[in-house]
Amino acid sequence: MSRAAEIAGDEASNVQAWAVAAVAATVAMWGYSAVAIKLVATSGLVVAFYRVWFAVPLLWLLAAAVPSMRGRLGRDWLRGCLVGGTLFGIHQVLFFSAMKMTSVANVTIIGALQPALVALVAGPLFGERVRRLSVGWAALALLGTALVVLGSSGTPSASLQGDVLAFVNLFAFTAYFLASKRIREKVGSWEYVIGMSTVSGFVVTAAVAATGPALAIPGFTDFVILMSLAIFPGTLGHVLTNWAHAHASAFSISMMLLAVPVVSSISATFVLGETLSPLQVVGGVVVLASIAAVVATVAATAGEKAADELAESAAGTDAP
């Protein structure tokens, strides 16, 4: 091997190592976000409102700083952002509300079912038939989720209403993910994030106006937490993940990000005092192992595009 080839190989390894570090940082930030949402002394809907509107100005500052980006904000961009932003706004309302109503473990583990749902309902997207093995792993993941919910019954941090919202959110986020995959065929990722986030802000604002929670100016502690949600998991986490996708496989990224429910649940135990019953622990392990198996099965038996699509869906599951 030539010296130039060795240098190129070392550089590629270094970049891949940085990509792994970027995803690890995202795991920590997204794991933190679930606990942070619970720490804010207001409703989930109000938290979603401030999380979105604290992030939107930062995104538009980016657009202002990059003239070429502004030039790509055309008709396709507007149409795509209206659809994607509406779906993402619905997801934000459901996700933040569920997080305030039930346990962190329940919301994050239910959300982890998303890749299985994608594998079952998005055959036409991948151009592949759904395989029996994937269906079997998905069914096992659903059984594991049932164990998590049953195991949390009677604990102060969990509620059936919050669990139902988390399940509805599972479908809302999957719809957002599938729509976004189509939209991004014509719209750049950064332009889409800027416009979609703005539209989602108006959707969340409409939900706040319709249900009537007070939008009081948050106190200093809540303000710091809300800003941290907007800057770190809400913006930086997505930046790091998008960058890592160019330097590491979607499969490896998705496997790492399946650790988010684990980090969230452990953090909630120590910070919030939420308890995990043995049945919840068993159910959580079953869910995460089954979802990993679903992604691995598709990666082993389907086309490269199908595997990357499914792995990316796991990487984006319930991103705050």
- The total number of structural domains in the chain stands at 1
* Predicted local confidence at residue 282, as pLDDT: 93
How much is the pLDDT for 74? 87
Question: Is 13 among the domain residues?
Answer: no
Q: What is the mean pLDDT of the chain?
A: 82
Q: Which of 172, 144, 148, 149 is nearest to 159 (CA)?
A: 149
197 domain residue, yes or no:
yes
DSSP H or E run through 146: helix 132-151
Give per-residue pLDDT as tens, 196-206: 999 999 999 99
Query: Any idea what DSSP says for residue 270?
Result: I
CA distances 263 to 63, 246, 267, Å, are 33, 25, 6
Dist. CA 302–CA 119, nearest whole Å: 11
Q: What pLDDT score was predicted for residue 122? A: 60
Residue owning tokens 């207001």: 42
Residue 215 has pLDDT above 90, yes or no: no
Could you tell me what percent of the chain has a pLDDT over 90? 33
CB 303 within 8 A of CB 126: yes
Determine the residue type at 224: V
Domain limits at 96? 18-315
Q: What's the whole-model pTM score?
A: 0.84
Distance CA 66, CA 299 (A): 37
Which is more confident, 215 or 36? 36
Let me know how long the chain is.
320
Q: Which residues contact 24 (CB under 8 A, 6 or more apart)?
A: 256
Angle, CA 226 vertex, CA 224 and CA 229 arms, to 5°: 110
The pLDDT of residue 31: 87
Please check whether residue 251 lies inside any domain of the structure: yes
- Whole-number pLDDT of residue 262: 86
Instruction: Please name the residue that has the structure tokens 């106006």.
Output: 209
Closest among 85, 103, 280 to 202, alpha carbons compared: 85
**Spatial distance between the Cα atoms of 308 and 152, rounded to a whole number of angstroms:** 34
Any domain includes 112 = yes
Confidence class for position 228, pLDDT limits 50, 70, 90: very high
Q: Which of 6-10, 96-100, 169-173, 269-273 has the lowest mean pLDDT?
A: 6-10
Question: How confident is the model at residue 313, as a pLDDT?
Answer: 56
CA angle (149, 153, 159) in 5-degree steps: 80
Is 6 part of any domain?
Answer: no
**Is position 89 within any domain?**
yes
Q: Is residue 9 part of a domain?
A: no
Which run of H or of E encompasses 29? helix 3-39
Would 282 be classed as within a structural domain? yes
